[in-house]
Amino acid sequence: MLEVKNLGLTLKGDEGEIQVLKDMNFKLEDKKIYVMTGPNGGGKSALSKAIMGIYQSTSGQILLNGEDITNKTIYERARMGIGYAFQQPARFKGIKVRELLEIASDKNKVPEMCDLLYDVGLCAQDYLEREINTSFSGGEVKRIEIATILARDLKLAIFDEPEAGIDLWSMQRLTETFVKMNEKYNTTILIISHQERILNLADEVIMVADGTVSEITTREKVLGEIRQIDSDCRCRQSCNKGGKAIADCDR
Ligand SMILES: Nc1ncnc2c1ncn2[C@@H]1O[C@H](COP(=O)(O)OP(=O)(O)OP(=O)(O)O)[C@@H](O)[C@H]1O
Ligand SMILES: [Mg+2]
C-alpha cells in the first residue's frame, strides 16, 4: 500500500545541510502492523514526517496504492488517508478536548468521543470538556493526540513513540486499541517504538539506522537480540559487583 523508493532528505542544521535520510527503500502491505525501531537519531521521525509531507523529501519517491504522492502537500496526504501522531505533540492551547476531537474527525458525537478517550486510557467525564492548557501533563497531551488519530478512518496510521510518557496501565489499553484499529478498520499501522510490548504486535520490524533501512526482519529476531544484550549486561554487572572477572560468568 505504501512504497518508499530511494528516498533522500536533506535538512538545514545549525552547521549547514545534513543528509538525514539516504536511499531508503521499503514497502508496507495492506492491513499489517509494522514496528520501526533503531538507534536514537537514526531518522525514524524524519522518515515519518517525510511520509506525512511535513518534510519535503529531496530525492526518491513515495507511492500510496500506486499513486505518486511525493509532491503532494500534507493536507492532500491527510485527505488520502495518512495520519501521523507526533513524538512530541503540540499543545493546542485554548480549545477543549471535545473541540479538538471534533476538528480531527467525523466521529463528533459525544458517545463516540467518549469511546476514543477510553481507548487511550482517559476518563471521558473528566476530560471531554476540559480546556487544553498548561495543566495537562505530557502523557495526557500525548494520549489526546493519539485519540485524534484513532478518530480518523485512515489507510495508514503512523504513531511516533506512543509509549513516551504513557503509564503502563494505559499502555496495555493502547496496545489493544492498535490491534482493534488494525482489525476493525483495516488500517495499516506503522509504530515507531523501542518497547518490547509494542514490538510484540509487529508483523514485521523495520530497522532504521544512519538515515537508512538497515534491515527488515521479524519480531522474534529483534526480541531475541534484545534479550541477548540484556543477559550479557546482567552477566557483566554481577561479575563487577562480586569483584570477579567477567570470565567467571556462567555463560
Ligand atoms: N528539523 C531538523 N533540522 C535539522 N536536523 C534535523 C531535523 N530533524 C531531525 N534532524 C536530524 O536528523 C537526524 C534524525 O533525527 P530523527 O528525529 O529522525 O531521529 P529518530 O530516529 O527519530 O531518533 P529518536 O529515536 O531519538 O526519536 C538527527 O541527526 C537529527 O539531529
Ligand atoms: Mg524520533
CATH of the domain at 91: 3.40.50.300
- Minimal-distance CA residue to ligand 1 atom 7: 11
Q: Looking at the domain assignment, is residue 96 inside a domain?
A: yes
Q: Which of 18, 190, 191 for mutating ligand 1's site (highest number of atoms within 8 Å of CB)?
A: 18
Q: Which amino acid is at 153?
A: D
Atom of ligand 1 lying closest to residue 42 CA? 21
49 CA: nearest ligand 1 atom: 18
Q: Report which residue type is found at 206.
A: I
Measured from the alpha carbon of residue 86, the closest ligand is 2
Say whether both 227 and 210 belong to one domain.
no
90 and 212 in a single domain? The answer is: yes
Same domain, 159 and 229: no
pLDDT value, residue 215 = 93
152, 233: one domain: no
Lowest-confidence segment of 20-24, 47-51, 201-205, 234-238 by average pLDDT = 234-238
Question: Tell me, what's the pLDDT at 92?
Answer: 77
Query: The C-alpha cell of 36 is what?
Result: 520501526
**CA separation for the pair 41, 11 (Å, rounded):** 14
Residue type, 29: E
Q: Which residue has the cell 476493525?
A: 184
Same domain membership, residue 145 and residue 243: no
Pick from 50-54, 179-183, 239-243 the range whose average pLDDT is largest: 50-54
Report how far residue 55's alpha carbon sits from residue 122's, in angstroms, rounded to the nearest whole number: 31
In this structure, the answer to whether residues 114 and 187 fall within a common structural domain is: yes
Kindly report, residue by residue over 73-82, the tens digit of the pLDDT: 999 999 999 9
Residue 97 covered by a domain: yes
Take atom 18 of ligand 1 and give the residue whose Cα is closest. 43
pTM of the predicted structure, to 2 decimals: 0.87
Domain assignment present for residue 65? The answer is: no
* Residue 5 included in any domain: no
Angle between helices 110-119 and 97-104 (to 10 degrees): 100
- pLDDT(102) > 80: yes
CA-nearest of 31, 95, 21, 100 to 58 is: 21
Residue at 199: amino acid letter: L
Q: Contact, 239 vs 245, CB < 8 A?
A: yes
Among 9, 14, 45, which is best to mutate for testing ligand 1, by the most ligand atoms less than 8 A from CB?
A: 45
User: Into how many domains does the chain fold?
Assistant: 2
Show the domain range for 228: 218-251
Please indicate, yes or no, whether residues 165 and 249 belong to a single structural domain of this protein.
no
- Cα 74–chain centre separation: 17
Q: Whose CA is nearest to atom 11 of ligand 1?
A: 20
Q: Which stretch of 70-74, 88-92, 185-189, 227-231 has the lowest confidence by average pLDDT?
A: 227-231
Q: Is residue 124 included in any domain, yes or no?
A: yes
| Same-domain status, 246 and 204 | no
In a domain, 71, yes or no: no
User: Is 103 inside any structural domain?
Assistant: yes
Indicate if 160 and 206 belong to the same structural domain.
yes
Question: Is residue 240 classed exposed, middle or buried when 0-12, 13-18 and 19+ CB atoms within 10 A define those classes?
Answer: exposed
Residue 27 has pLDDT above 70, yes or no: yes
Q: Is residue 116 part of a domain?
A: yes
Torsion angle of the four alpha carbons 52, 55, 56, 61, in this order, in degrees rounded to the nearest 10 = -50
Q: Whose CA is nearest to atom 9 of ligand 1?
A: 46
Does residue 155 share a domain with residue 106?
Answer: yes
Mean pLDDT of all residues in the chain?
Answer: 88
Residues with CB under 5 A from ligand 2 (ion): 44-45, 87
Ligand 2 center to 38 CA (angstroms) = 10
Claim to verify: residue 36 and residue 155 sit in the same structural domain: yes
Task: Note whether 174 and 96 are same-domain residues.
Answer: yes
Q: Write down the H helix ranges in the chain.
A: 44-52, 74-79, 97-104, 110-119, 124-127, 138-150, 168-185, 196-199, 219-241
- C-alpha cell recorded at residue 247: 570470565
* Most ligand 1 atoms within 8 A of CB, residue of 10, 20, 40, 56 to mutate: 20
